[in-house]
Structure 1
Amino acid sequence: MHIPPSAGPAPDRSLGLLPEALQRRPALALILLCLLLWLPGFFALPATDRDEARFAQASRQMVESGDYVRIRFGAEERNKKPAGIHWLQAGSVQAVESLGLGDRAQIWVYRLPSFFGALLAVLATWYWGRGLVGRRAALLGAAMLASCLVLVAEARIAKTDAALLATIAAAMGLFAQAYLRPRQFTARQAAAFWLMLGLGVLLKGPIGPMVPLLAGITLAVADREAPWLRALRPLWGVPLMIATAAPWFVAIGIATEGRFFSEAVGGDMLSKIGSGEEKHWGPPGFYLLSFGIAAFPGAWIVLCALPAAWRDRLSPPTRFLLAWVVPSWLVFEAVQTKLPHYTMPLYPALMLLGAAWAMDPLRQEPPRWLRWIGQAGLVGVAVGLAATALAAPWWLSRMLLPAAVLTVPLAIALCWVLLRLARRGAWGRAGLAGVLLAVPLYALVLEGVVPRLAPLWVAPRLAEAVAARAPGLASADFGITGYSEPSVLFALGGDTHLLRTGSDAARFLAAAPGRVVAVGDRAEGDFRQQAAALSLAPEEIGTVTGFNYTRGRWVTLLLYRLPGG
């Protein structure tokens, strides 16, 4: 694989699917593309369990309490992640409310940092990718990153990963400048590099610095020298990174009397390394096997590009991109807890490698077996996405949604067009066609199908039932057992009581007048037995049935209050 110098390759027609006017304004083209890819479902999807609702509710409580040091979810301390994402979400709440565009009860307000973080990551991939793979390949690589299924999901989920991707993409882009042109690397650029790492620490602890650290060690060993290290100015850069994050860490240590560090490091981080936390265990090779899904629709091009990238590893730009990917990928594979988005900080480099190969007129074709694997993965994911969109409404509600039906011809068209272009050797055009055809496919699924799967959205429907049957009920007067997902607190209020058993629900109901409880069907017998023992005669005022997708089972919640309440 030949990677051109920073001036970029001569224009070719591989990106002919994109109007020339937009090719001359790549930043505008990428912004428009991201809006088309990520806005469908952004406002329509309710808060998802578990992480999104948990992060959003903790940020909401931060705004309401005015305590921007301690992180709380309901009545409990949330000592797992730093406060960076909560500050960003709190800031978006304040901005949206001050402009009168929304309020803190709407989940989309908390998704804004993820959306803009993902957008900055895409723009950073294009901006610094130009010096690594050339102008047009950088544009294609950034577009492929924007359309990755995992980023399409993370851009509309209110948690840390899209914002973290922005800091890592920016830091690694600056690192690439120091590596390729150490003598031209300025002190201002070095300061920006270390500030990005400090912000990454505030978002997700050590993951942000880990990626450039492993890449730097790999490059130093492979090159047997590291002139870029002096360019990065670590003697004052590392203290700058520490100073960026240290004030909050000192404050949270004092506020929680050290509990944050014992729980975040000793509990959360070490449990992820040593065991599959929250049933998220995966074997070594998990990320390689799931890459075709997470990086759809560009994964097959990246897969085909890898042999050429390895052959070209002596080229400094290729070497840098491989050093960005390989050591951190191996670390993620070694960690016991595995989720598809964990490797997302490596996707900018992978997409640039794939785009550079696709745009190279001198590229070598991949082995036939590798090409077949890539094509099979492309077809499998496209067809699987359409089949899931078609089957889910039928299985959950016996519905056949028009939007779901339309995903089938779209998925078939995507596969046919991309495979046909690849057979003609138009790999760059195939990469861009995949991005553009993913736009309507994602829009149908995320706007036309998923928000309409009513059984999945238990908490919003429960909140509607409570508002209809007990209008004006304060969240402190509501308790629930049998369904303790974080979305309940976000939908019904942070003072909602999450009760352990049906007996607890009966005692909660008896403790004060005007209270309402939701009792899961599995706890109903225990609830009625305890109510009888307390001489209570609760009346049923509503029922909500749905599918708890985090546990994979149906649940029925029965609303009770005492007569006259």
Structure 2
Amino acid sequence: MNKATVEKDKNMGLNFWEKNLKTLWIFSVLWLLLISFVAFLVNLGSIGLMDKTEPMFVEAARQMVITGDWVTPYWNGETRFDKPPLTYWLVGLSFKVFGINEWGARIPSALAAIAVVILGFYTLRYFGFSRANETQNSDKKLWFSAFIGAAIIALNPFWIAWGRTGVSDMFLSSGIALALLSFFLGYGYSGTSSKQYLGLSIGRLWYIGFWVFMALGVLAKGPVALVLPGVTVIIFLLYVGRFIEVVKETPWLLGISSFLLISVPWFILVTLAHGQEYINTFFGLHNVQRFTSVVSRHPGAWYYYLPVILVGLVPWSIYLPLAIANLRVWQRQKWVNSPRSTHLGIFCLCWFLVILIFFSSSVTKLAGYVLPLIPAGAIIITLFWSEKVENKQEESGIWPLLFWLSGLANIGILMGLGAASFMSSQLIGEDIMMPQFKELLQASNLAMKGGIIWSFAGFSALFLLFFRNYRRWLWVANLVGFMAFFTWVGLPVAKIIDNQRQLPLRELSEMVKVERQPGEKLVFLGFMRPTLVFYTQEVVDSVTEADIDNGPAFEYFKKTDGPATVLIISEDKYLNKLRLTNSDYEVIRQEGAFKLIRINKQTIINKN
């Protein structure tokens, strides 16, 4: 095939993508709807709230709705200053539209997750180049980057898990992701487009979006939503040598004004209402102390987040090291001299590393802290695969070997997931909270289905890797396998777990509404289950195991006012710690491991 023929075929391909632009956008919308529906909307409200964090946020939102106080968050009769109000506001507004239910509690998180998928698609569609100095004529490659990128952002365990949970993590993560994607769109368009809307260039509008989404992130979880994007942008601009350039073109007045107008008023109002109490709790405990000391018994080594990311982005994460290396960050001069439109990979690498290093430096560690880097990792992996699909010729040197090893590791993970599914009944231990889970799982044949799905994906990946011309399609096995497993196995298993672990508490909560006498205290013994507060819609007093062991439990019952009896929800092991026998109390109902009992307070006091 001569050079003229190649150029002719290339031009025919470009003409196809240009002539069918409307069809491509229609297909894009359908594709985004499909992956968003599968990942975030299917069975969204089919299971109850999950202890312990979700019901705390959701109940605080419900309190805002019923009290009309949209400034001060309350939970279980006390102020809750852990987080700013965006989660409570969005869930509360959802309750007003859809009613107070699980679907209404979770749809704001789902929509936030979907917004990142959509903006990620849009960014990749116009700036999804994987190399410095790459030509902008590869329209086909950009479309492919957008399609697969949206799927990888959406279809991974972390983005799905938090996109289906009514907590603040998704609002912080989506705020950071939308802010950084907006910045890059402003950065990219400022170098390529002169279009104007509302008297502002499209680049300047996206720059303003950067400040707007940071403000929403601050309202979701605090100053970290300003610090992390700000540091990311500074490091990126210094690396590509565009710092002064971008400082000059940024609409600082409009951007900062937008940020302050959105983020500051609530902090002023809540501080005026609660003063030092709010400042000490939010800024002191939940920002400074979480970074400098262990809070809520959540320590971790410096490498804590490396396996977390591996699991959070599985099965895509196995290619992340190779995808990062493929950016060739050591060739800085090439990036400095390349057009802005080709810088997305380096930008996402800065985004990824800033968040990883920041939270690895924190003394308190939780898996959800690195959720904001998931879209960045997904885009880096996307750029790697878009290059592989477009470039049919393998590179020279060590790169083919590294790809081959990554492919083998990919197959190993898929086969391992298949084996784990087949053997799940042997791997699952006994859990008093889910006494029938193993039997129900076996009866459902879901473990068998999961094993078949992952095994099929593994063998498909093996086939694709073995034949050289098909290796660039290896990602298809991951995509199809993940979607099939999540839809046909993951969601049904979640329902079984909910029926075993959370349904008993919901049923006891309904019984409390019937049985509770006026003024009678409701007490939970043991590890507090916040779902009780939401589902009973009552204040629930908590007596912990430490209170029982060290004596404060008996003092609590001595000082409790109201009727002579109390309602207690607990497991037998905690009742036994109080030295109570079956004859000491009335069992109203037992569900799973929990009992709802009525007992005279003096009976407990006499056991001391």
Who is 2:371 aligned against? 344
Partner of 1:289: 307
The equivalent residue for 1:135 is: 143
Q: Among residues 574, 586, 589, which one is paired with 1:542 in the alignment? A: 589
Query: What corresponds to 1:126 in structure 2?
Result: 121
| Match among 253, 256, 267 for residue 274 of structure 2 | 256
Partner secondary structure for residue 310 of structure 1: coil
CA–CA separation in structure 1 for the residues paired with 2:419 and 2:189? 45
Whether the 8 Å contact between 1:127 and 1:138 is mirrored in structure 2 is yes
CA-CA distance at 1:472 after TM superposition: 5.4
Q: Deviations over 1:433-483 (max 9, x none)?
A: 42232123113444322321367525x413424545872537963222224
Match for 2:504 among 444, 461, 465?
461
Cα distance, 1:136 vs. partner?
1.2
What SS does structure 1 have at the residue aligned with 2:148? Answer: helix
The amino acid of 2:232's aligned partner reads A
Q: Report the alpha carbon displacement of residue 558 of structure 1 after superposing the two structures with TM.
A: 4.9
Kept after mapping to 2: 8 A contact 1:253/1:260: yes
Paired residues, number: 528
Q: What letter corresponds to residue 162 of structure 1 in structure 2?
A: M
1:108 aligns with 2:106: no
Q: 1:527 to 1:262 in 2, by over 3 A?
A: same
CA offsets, 1:270-298, max 9 Å, x none?
A: 23212343233221222222222100122
Name the residue aligned to 1:144. Answer: 152
SS at match of 1:279: coil
1:219 and 2:236 aligned:
yes
**2:456 maps to which of 413, 421, 424:** 413
Determine helix, strand or coil for the equivalent of 2:275: coil
Q: Give the AA of the match of 2:315.
A: P
With 191-200 and 203-212 compared, the bigger mean Cα shift is at 203-212
Of 547, 569, 576, 1:518 maps to: 569
Q: 2:264, 2:590 → 1: CA distance?
A: 49
- Between stretches 64-73 and 228-237, larger displacement belongs to 228-237
Secondary structure of residue in 1 paired with 2:327: helix
Counterpart mapping for 1:141-540 below 5 A:
141-183=149-191, 184=193, 185-226=202-243, 227-310=245-328, 314-315=334-335, 316-360=343-387, 361-362=390-391, 364=395, 365=400, 367=402, 369-381=405-417, 383-384=419-420, 387-388=423-424, 391-392=427-428, 396-397=435-436, 398-399=438-439, 400=442, 401-424=444-467, 426=470, 429-453=473-497, 456-458=500-502, 460-465=503-508, 467-468=510-511, 471=514, 473=516, 477=520, 478-500=522-544, 501=548, 503=554, 511-512=562-563, 515-525=566-576, 527=578, 538-540=585-587
Segment drifting more, 160-169 vs 59-68 = 160-169
Inter-CA distance 285–327: structure 2 relative to 1 (3 Å threshold): same
Please identify, of 328-337 and 63-72, the stretch whose mean Cα deviation from structure 2 is larger.
328-337
Q: How far off its partner does 1:385 sit? A: 6.1
Worse-superposed segment, 392-401 or 198-207? 392-401
Tell me the equivalent position of 2:46: 44
Report the equivalent of 1:3: none
- TM-superposed CA distance for 1:389, in Å, is 7.7
Alpha carbons 2:525, 2:574 under 8 Å: kept:
yes
Listed one character per residue, the Cα deviations across residues 216-239 of structure 1 (whole Å, up to 9, x for unaligned) are: 221232233322233332244123
- How big is each residue's C-alpha offset from its partner over 1:132-185, in whole Å with a ceiling of 9 and x where there is no partner? 212211220110111111111111111122233332232222211233343544
Tell me the C-alpha RMSD between the 2 structures.
Answer: 3.3
CA shift at 1:496, angstroms? 2.5
8 Å Cα contact 1:293-1:381 kept in structure 2: no
Q: Which has the higher contact order (CA 8 A, sep 6+)?
A: 1
Asked whether the 8 Å contact 1:41–1:443 carries over to 2, the reply is no
CA contact (8 A) 1:46 1:451 kept: no
In structure 1, C-alpha distance between the alignment counterparts of 2:426 and 2:151, rounded to whole Å: 27
Query: Which one-letter code corresponds to 1:524 in the other structure?
Result: L
Counterpart CA distance in 2 for 1:484 and 1:562 is 22
Query: What one-letter code is carried by the residue in structure 1 that aligns with 2:457?
Result: L
Q: Is the 8 A contact 1:280 1:338 kept in 2?
A: yes
Structure-2 change in CA distance of 1:493 and 1:505 (3 Å): farther
- Residues 1:90 and 1:476: Cα distance change in structure 2 (over 3 Å): farther
Q: Secondary structure at the match of 1:190?
A: helix
Q: State the 1:188 CA deviation.
A: 2.7
Task: From 553, 557, 560, give the equivalent of 2:598.
Answer: 560
- Inter-partner Cα distance in structure 2 for 1:68 and 1:210: 26
Q: Which runs of 5+ in 1 are unaligned?
A: 1-7, 13-19, 98-103, 547-555
**Is 2:421–2:448's contact at 8 Å kept on the other side of the alignment?**
no
* 1:441–1:256 CA distance, 2 compared to 1 (3 A): same
Question: How far apart are the structure 2 equivalents of 1:250 and 1:21?
Answer: 50
Q: 1:463 to 1:181 in 2, by over 3 A?
A: closer
Q: Which stretch of structure 1 is more off in the superposition, 203-212 or 249-258?
A: 203-212
Letter in 2 for 1:430: L
Whether contact under 8 Å (1:144, 1:298) holds in the other structure is yes
**Cα distance, 1:66 vs structure 2:** 1.2
The structure whose Rg is larger is 2
Alignment identity in percent?
Answer: 19
**More moved, 237-246 vs 504-513:** 504-513
How much does 1:504 deviate?
6.0
Structure 1 residues 527 and 393, CA gap change in structure 2 (3 angstroms): closer
Q: Runs of 5+ in structure 2 lacking a partner?
A: 1-9, 15-21, 129-141, 194-201, 336-342, 602-608
Residue by residue over 1:4-49, the C-alpha shift from the partner in whole angstroms, topping out at 9 and shown as x without a partner, is xxxx99979xxxxxxx977852132122112123334522222112
Q: Deviations over 1:113-143 (max 9, x none)?
A: 1111111111111011222212211220110
Distance 1:411 1:303 in 2: 23
Cross-structure match for 1:549: none
TM-score normalized with structure 2 length: 0.78
Contact 2:458 2:477 in 1 (8 A): no
Match of 2:18 in 1: none
Superposed, 1:89-104 pairs within 5 Å as: 89-97=91-99, 104=100
Cα distance in 2 for residues equivalent to 1:143 and 1:476: 53
Structure 1 contact 539–562 (Cα < 8 Å) conserved: no
What is the CA deviation profile of residues 521-552 of structure 1, one whole-angstrom value per residue up to 9, with x for unaligned ones?
A: 344256567x99xxx96322233443xxxxxx
Relative to the length of structure 1, the TM-score reads: 0.84
Q: Which residue of 2 aligns with 1:17?
A: none
User: What secondary structure does 2:375 align onto?
Assistant: helix
Residue number in structure 1 paired with 2:64: 62
**1:232-258: CA deviation from partner (whole Å, max 9, x where unpaired):** 322441232122110000011111113
**Range that drifts further, 78-87 or 306-315:** 306-315
Q: Deviations over 1:308-355 (max 9, x none)?
A: 123576443332222222222221222222233322222222222212
